Amino acid sequence: MSGESVAYHLRLNKFIERELFFELLSRLKPGVPRQDLSRYTYASMGGKFMEDLKIANHRLGIRDLFCIESDKTTFGRQLFNKPLSWIQCLQKSSDDFINDFGNLCESRNYPNFIVWLDYAAANKRGSQLTEFQSLVAQMSDFDVVKITLNADVKTLMGRPLAPTETDEGTNVDILEKIREEAFQRLSNQLGALMPAGFDSQRMRQDDLPNLLLEAVRIVAVKGMSGRPRSRIVPLAINKYSDGHQMLTVTAIILPVAGEHDFLERTKIAEWAFFSPDWNTIHKIHVPDLSLREKLEIDQKLGRNPIVKIHRDLPFKLHKNREASLEILQNYAVHYERYPSFGRYMT
């Protein structure tokens, strides 16, 4: 359903982003009803292996689990691979799932949900945002919702930009035309959901996540219209790239009167990856390391400044020195979340 056929062990940044998601959920426990996440219903587009559903069970104790999948072949593999008897595999589209969400809510013993809409198709951003809005409109106080969108500018371009996305070595008029065409494609995709204040100059890799984030904010607020006693609050906003750049937004529905108490109970503002508003995006960008490289770096972490570690490494992580240092700094932040897979050999 997610459109992703690449395994997590080949997608390091997505793996770490998923780890952050479950770190976040664990931190919410003091602020949710009964201080108990195990009574929530968890639904996602879990793919062939349903890793996130297993984590929802193992770390949060959730047994009411739904995996959404429209592709017949992937659905067949889900039924074969299903790791837990509690997972209910649904062969339906995300749109059908959301249209039936009200009935699903009525059938549960407890009202609260965690739903992850893990989209990947780059040409369906408009319908994906519309689905997100429809889901938000049906959610209850203390429900958690997450959306993943393709935020790679290359998906909007009929022809590539220069590698550095600058005017150097490329005709300025050609670059402008490429960006204008990309902007028009995105405008056609989003339609009325296209945020105001953006133009073709924002059709750059670093800018597209900001544009899509504003679109997410717009539909989230629209989804909450008519509910003055509740509002949707962002919790974590990340961007990462494993081939394509992706944007993820996690938010919670809160009663306005209880928002301050929720923040106080969870201390979520103290979490390093908390997004206090709709503008704060955290970038996840770790290197693909061999076991030998990882051990070399890990042995130096905590004992030396990152700049010195980078200077002394017998290898670099990028041909550009500043980019190599930035990647190492990001790894130092996430080294405990970095996956260890059998493919890493010395």
Q: How far apart are CA 49 and CA 80, in angstroms?
A: 10
Is residue 260 within a helix (H) or strand (E), and if so which, with residue range? Answer: helix 259-266
Is the separation of the CB atoms in 313 and 296 below 8 Å? yes
What pLDDT was estimated at residue 69?
97
What pLDDT was estimated at residue 208?
97
Measured in whole angstroms, the distance separating CA 200 from the mean position of its chain's CA atoms is: 25
Which residue in this structure is represented by tokens 């659905």?
75
Q: Which two tokens stand for residue 150?
A: 């393709």
Which residue in this structure is represented by tokens 């490289």?
293
Q: How far is CA 29 from CA 35, 112, 263, 285, in A?
A: 5, 13, 11, 28
**CB atoms closer than 10 angstroms to residue 226:** 7
- For the CA atoms of 257, 263, 148, 185, the dihedral, rounded to the nearest 10 degrees, stands at 60
Is the separation of the CB atoms in 219 and 192 below 8 Å? no
Query: How many residues does this entry show for the chain?
Result: 346
What pLDDT was estimated at residue 8?
55
Long-range contacts from 92-95, C-beta under 8 angstroms, 24+ separation: 92/68, 93/1, 93/68, 94/1, 94/45, 94/68, 94/70, 94/119, 94/128, 94/131, 95/127, 95/131
Q: Which two tokens stand for residue 123?
A: 């040409």
Sign for the CA dihedral angle at 20, 25, 26, 27 comes to positive
Entry pTM: 0.93
What strands lie across the sheet with 41-44, from one edge to the other? 87-91, 64-69, 41-44, 113-118, 144-150, 244-255, 230-242, 282-284
Give the contacts of 268 (CB within 8 A, at least 6 positions apart). Answer: 24, 27, 28, 31, 235, 274
User: From first to last of its 346 residues, what are the pLDDT tens digits of the chain?
Assistant: 444 555 555 789 999 999 999 999 999 999 999 999 999 999 999 999 999 999 999 999 999 999 999 999 999 999 999 999 999 999 999 999 999 999 999 999 888 999 999 999 999 999 999 999 999 999 999 999 999 999 999 999 976 655 454 545 557 888 899 999 999 999 999 999 999 999 999 999 999 999 999 999 999 999 999 899 999 999 999 999 999 999 999 999 999 999 999 999 999 999 999 999 999 999 999 999 999 999 999 999 999 999 999 999 999 999 999 999 999 999 999 999 999 764 444 4
Q: What's the burial of 159, exposed, middle or buried (CB within 10 Å: 0-12/13-18/19+)?
A: exposed
Angle between helices 208-223 and 125-138 (to 10 degrees): 30
Which residue in this structure is represented by tokens 């020195």?
321
